[in-house]
Chains A and B, each alone.
Chain A
Amino acid sequence: MEITLLFQIAVIGIITSVLNTILRQANKDEFGQAVTLIGVTIIMARVLIEIGDLFQTIRTMFQF
Chain B
Amino acid sequence: MDLITVIGICICAVLLSIVLKQYKPEFSFLLSLTTGIIIIILIVSRMTVIIEAFNSIAAKADTRLLHLDVILKIISLGLIAEFAVKLCKDAGESAIAGQIELSAKVIILVLAVPLILLVLDTVLQLVPK
* Range, interface on chain B: 20 to 34
Q: Given A50-B38, A53-B41, A54-B37, is A61 in contact with B30 using a C-beta cutoff of 8 Å? A: no
Pair B27/A2 contact, Cβ less than 8 Å: no
What total of A-B pairs shows CB separation below 8 Å? 92
Note all chain A residues with C-beta closer than 8 A to B13.
6
CB contact between B24 and one of A13, A44, A53 (< 8 Å): that residue: A13
Q: Counting CB contacts under 8 A, is B16 at the interface?
A: yes
Least CB distance from A9 to B in Å reads 5
B residues in contact with A64, CB < 8 Å: 73, 76
What DSSP secondary structure best describes chain A's contact surface?
helix
Q: Is the interface of B mostly helix, strand, loop or mixed?
A: helix
**B100 within 8 Å of A (CB atoms):** no
Q: List 17 A-B contacts (CB under 8 A).
A: A2-B41, A3-B9, A5-B34, A6-B31, A7-B16, A9-B20, A13-B27, A14-B23, A16-B27, A36-B24, A43-B30, A46-B34, A57-B41, A58-B40, A58-B80, A61-B48, A64-B76
Q: Which residues of A contact B (CB under 8 A)?
A: 2-3, 5-7, 9-10, 12-14, 16-17, 20, 36, 39-40, 43-44, 46-47, 50-51, 53-54, 57-58, 61-64
